[in-house]
């Protein structure tokens, strides 16, 4: 089947006619930043959302997601204006529309919407090189590749990803990386690469330092609690979690986040392991406030080799001591702080958690050290530095 258009562009949260359309704001006097992302805007609030919501102060920001199947016979583009000022664009493709046919449709949907808005001054911002298959014909005044992860090392990565990244690096005016390890891996391939490690919204997570009501699904869990929030996928060492839970049955391990790319049946099941599911960004400080120690039990594999976890400074901003496996960027940035403890085995992880529980007792020292570590670390600062790099690369 051929989907040739013209395509539909539906404004609002869905095609439900009972819902009122949401106003799309587009200022023809400012440039447009088109962000092409493998991550969904409404999934987990992280680096893309922090940065794009800030870039929306200076640009018309369009956040183009990967397609979602639809039961409709024809493709269409859902346009969801976000309260941050970002327009979230979600392509809806019919069943069976994949491969080169999907690329043609995505190109048509994207071109049609850019024409509809009258976009003339365009900046491209890539989170995934795979988006080149439908956007390589665009003529932006600047192309930025914000490489936040080594995507080729993730489970289920497309085989073309490495080749596409080579092409994107050739086209990009600027390359940003999500951490120093990733920067070291990419800097030989681009002369204008810059490391921008994970930052933090200190004020948001500092709310966890104040006494508050425990969320209902956490309130009945005894203390001490070891907590983690984030995507539960192949990057998590589920065997380590099981062994810690077995070694200390009185400790409660609280895991907050969606399960992705792994079978939930493979997750360890014990009375002292609690899976609370995904939560919104606004809810996270309330959960963090109820933990005694924050943990980062990451597996040491190809998918974690270059990560720089955003949650490290978030946990510290919330006033929680941290125990992590020896992720390179965590060790080099926080390993000598005294309140982020590193452990490479289950036995060492238990010992480190015991020390972290003692750290939590000396709250004044904990908070003073955390504040010193965080310093001027903020997404506003990161965004400001990125803008300067973009101006210099014009």
Three-state helix/strand/coil letters over 158-222: CCCHHHHHHHHHHHCCEEEECCHHHHHHHHHHCCCEEECCCCCCHHHHHHHHCCCCCCHHHHCCC
Domains 8-17+25-199+379-392 and 202-374 share a fold: yes
Ranges of beta strands (E only) in 234-284 are: 252-256, 273-277
For 238, the token pair is 């589920």
Q: Which pLDDT value is given to residue 16?
A: 44
CA-wise closest residue to 181 among 379, 327, 46? 327
| Domain made up of 8-17+25-199+379-392: CATH architecture | 3-Layer(aba) Sandwich (3.40)
Domain range list for the chain: 8-17+25-199+379-392, 202-374
Q: What integer pLDDT is reported at residue 305 of this predicted model?
A: 86
pLDDT tens digits for range 279-308: 999 999 999 999 999 999 999 988 898 888
**CA angle at residue 207 from 202 to 209, to 5 degrees?**
100
Other CB atoms within a 10 A radius of the CB of residue 226 amount to 26
Contact 39, 46 (CB under 8 A): yes
Q: Residue 358: what pLDDT?
A: 95
- Distance CA(325)–CA(334), nearest Å, equals 12
State which fold the 202-374 domain adopts.
Rossmann fold (3.40.50)
d(CA 97, CA 99): 7
Q: What is the pLDDT of residue 4?
A: 53
Scan for tokens 């962000």, then name that residue. Answer: 35
Instruction: State how beta strands 252-256 and 322-324 pair.
Output: unpaired
pLDDT at 6: 55
C-alpha closest to that of 57 among 89, 81, 34, 84:
84
Give pLDDT, residue 22.
Answer: 56
Mean pLDDT, contiguous 10-residue spans, the chain (394 residues): 57 46 77 95 91 97 94 91 95 89 94 95 96 96 92 72 91 94 89 92 96 95 97 94 98 96 93 97 97 97 87 96 96 94 97 96 95 92 96 86
- Compute the distance between CA of residue 263 and CA of residue 260 in angstroms, rounded to an integer: 8
Summarize pLDDT for 24-37 with one digit per residue, the tens: 778 888 999 999 99
pTM: 0.85
What gap in Å lies between CA 183 and CA 189, rounded to an integer? 10
Cα–Cα distance measured from residue 348 to residue 112, given in angstroms and rounded to the nearest whole number: 56
Rg (CA), the chain: 22
């Amino acid at each position: 089947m051929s989907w040739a258009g013209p395509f539909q562009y539906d404004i609002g949260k869905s095609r439900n006619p009972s819902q009122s359309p949401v106003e799309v704001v587009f200022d023809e006097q400012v440039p447009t930043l088109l962000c092409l992302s493998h991550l969904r805007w409404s999934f987990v609030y992280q680096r893309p959302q922090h940065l794009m919501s800030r870039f929306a102060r200076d640009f018309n920001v369009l956040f183009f997601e990967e397609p979602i199947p639809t039961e409709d016979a024809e493709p269409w583009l859902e346009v969801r204006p976000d309260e941050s000022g970002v327009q979230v664009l979600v392509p809806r493709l019919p069943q069976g529309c994949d491969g080169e046919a999907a690329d043609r449709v995505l190109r048509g949907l994207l071109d049609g919407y850019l024409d509809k808005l009258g976009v003339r001054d365009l900046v491209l911002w890539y989170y995934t090189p795979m988006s080149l298959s439908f956007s390589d014909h665009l003529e932006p005044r600047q192309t930025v590749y914000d490489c936040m992860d080594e995507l080729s090392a993730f489970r289920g990565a497309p085989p073309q990803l490495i080749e596409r990244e080579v092409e994107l690096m050739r086209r990009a005016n600027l390359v940003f990386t999500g951490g120093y390890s990733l920067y070291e891996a990419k800097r030989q391939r681009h002369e204008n690469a810059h490391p921008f490690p994970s930052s933090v919204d200190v004020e948001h997570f500092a709310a966890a330092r104040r006494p508050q009501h425990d969320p209902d699904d956490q309130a009945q869990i005894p203390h001490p609690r070891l907590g983690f929030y984030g995507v539960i996928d192949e990057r998590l060492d589920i065997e380590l979690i099981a062994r810690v839970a077995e070694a200390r049955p009185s400790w409660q391990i609280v895991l907050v986040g969606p399960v992705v790319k792994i079978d939930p049946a493979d997750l360890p099941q014990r009375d002292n392991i609690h899976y609370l599911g995904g939560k919104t960004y606004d809810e996270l400080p309330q959960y963090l406030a109820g933990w005694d120690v924050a943990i980062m039990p990451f597996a040491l594999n190809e998918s974690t080799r270059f990560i720089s976890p955003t949650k490290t400074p978030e946990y510290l901003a919330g006033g929680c001591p941290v125990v992590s496996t020896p992720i390179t960027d965590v060790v080099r940035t926080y390993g000598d702080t005294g309140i982020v403890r590193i452990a490479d085995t289950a036995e060492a992880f238990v010992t480190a958690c015991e020390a972290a529980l003692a750290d939590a007792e000396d709250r004044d020292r904990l908070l003073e050290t955390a504040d010193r570590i965080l310093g001027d670390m903020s997404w506003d600062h990161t965004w400001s530095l990125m803008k300067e790099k973009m101006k210099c690369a014009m």
